[in-house]
Amino acid sequence: MKELTIKKNRWLYAASLSMLCYSILEMSDCIIVLLMTLNLVPNFYLIFEFNVPMIQQLLETQPLTLAPIFWAFTLMRVVSTIGLFKNRLWGLYIGLISLILTMILTVLLFLPVGGFELLGCTIILILLIVGYYDNKLIINN
């Protein structure tokens, strides 16, 4: 039996493309943190004000200390993207976990700056859930 491709479900395909874009954005963020540490680019985090003073201070003075957190979320998004494009359920679950964790951390730590990230995560989360459940009914008669 031929394996169904993710393109047949437009919602999951849109979620997969969105997660791919999000992954690329996260990868560039990780590279920028390394370049900031090496003083090759200016510290872009100085223009934002975060909700938690300790995170603000670390991003301003030692951005590399938060890099493992960035790398972990980037890895989850990349693995999720691969799984989604391969039509694997584990890609969906890793994506849902990474999105929900990001949404929680954004609300607790990174507002108001993280508002756009919260919006992006919400859109991808909705696409994943709608795509997965598609036309399934709540109650079958």
C-alpha 52/C-alpha 57 separation (Å) is: 9
pLDDT-derived band at 53, boundaries 50, 70, 90: confident
pLDDT-derived band at 4, boundaries 50, 70, 90: low
Tokens, residue 96: 């849902």
Whether the pTM exceeds 0.75: the reply is yes
Sorted by sequence, the CB contacts under 8 Å of residue 54 that are 6+ apart come out as none
Is residue 87 helix, strand or coil? coil
C-alpha 97/C-alpha 108 separation (Å) is: 17
